[in-house]
Structure 1
Amino acid sequence: MNELIQVTVQNDQQLVSARELHKGLELKKHFTDWVKQSFRDFEEGEDFTTSLSGAVVGNGAIKPVKDYALTIDMAKQLCMMSHTTQGKIYRKYFIELERKWNDPMEVVKRGYTILQDENAQLKIENESMKPKALFADSVSASKTTILIGDLAKVLRGNGVNIGQNRLFQILRDGGYLISRKGTSYNMPTQRSMELGLFRIKETSITHSDGHVTVNKTPKVTGKGQQYFINKFLAEKEA
């Protein structure tokens, strides 16, 4: 996959420069105006953080300018809001980045690296328990939230034969997601939110005709990933 934009990793999270994205989308609106209009539906500290980047001025010197480090999720939303051909190209690129980032083996690798950096000692009694313990620790160390469909992929990668639709049904039957049809269907229950298993991502999208819609997406937290992985592996063994 050819690199469209530079991606950095901080605190186990992929980030991109707002200025680089603005340039890549080939937007006519000035960067400052674009930020003022497009960033109002996002939360600083969660979706983006203020940073500095270097800009080349007339004499060739590099001048520090205000920039923003965007999460991949926010970058995808901005691409969709741009209503441009470049926006579609960049959005597909970010979706592929997320797919690779959330691949079960990549999650394990990152978690293992975090544990090594912190000089953590893995105490595993036998070889059969080693992959499960490593995976659980790596997920616990991760601050990345994932979609329920991605959780199904992670479970399959660890020997649990389950698909996205069946996982949704099990979570509804178990009282983790709301089963009553309506606007809250498939949203986390109060119990799940209190346990810290899910986070609801809300994003306002302004469409080309001016009307605004709000997308609500349930995402599984690091704690939730560990909780459900342990739960399903225990049930599988039983």
Structure 2
Amino acid sequence: MTELIPILQTQFNGAEINSVNARDLHAVLESKYQFADWIKTRLDEVDAIENIDYIIVSEKSETMSEAGRKASIKKEYILTIDIAKEIAMLERNEVGKKVRRYFIEFEKRAKKPLNQLDFLQMQLNVMRQHDERITAIEDKHRKDERRFRNLENTAKRDEELKEYTTAVGFGILKGISLDKKQCQRLGTKASKLSREAGVLIVTIPDQKHGKVGTYRHDILEKAFNALNFNIEIGV
């Protein structure tokens, strides 16, 4: 059989299995996409799990330029034959089909009769890989759930912060002009009321003062009424 793509022997979780370098697969598939973008997209599309369906090997390389020698780290993705077959089919063209058939034919030729011990070992490897895959999928789901909860909390917090403003901003919203001393008194009172009510005080950066506190609008309204400023609203 004419070699279409080099088949490697790689250690995956203590077992030596047939594998391919993703760069070789990318080249033989004649993909028009940049390798780094292509491999990340394809691995995501086939739900590949690192250390089960593929491993990443970092290789240090050096290049010469006018500025001198430059070191860089290149990531090599080593794929199992099974995941490489799935990626090949995603190309949805004749080249992808040809590569997939090549992998299938290689596996047929590589198969040999197993004695009972080898068969049992193979079964154990399959069971272990299955358990590892289930664990990896569950871990991924937990991470996705945490990420989703964080997004929900961030959205909720952003919505709540719409109700917050500074003492100066509160005066503008009410159409009144507060001087510096009145703003300080309003902020101090709002801080006290917020702490008493267990309401969050949010500090934001300010060009003039470095940092200023923002308070919930209803807290500022309560503080403003309590201070009884002699100000006409709308002036």
TM range, smaller chain: 0.3 to 0.5
| Higher helix fraction (1 or 2) | 2
Larger radius of gyration: 2
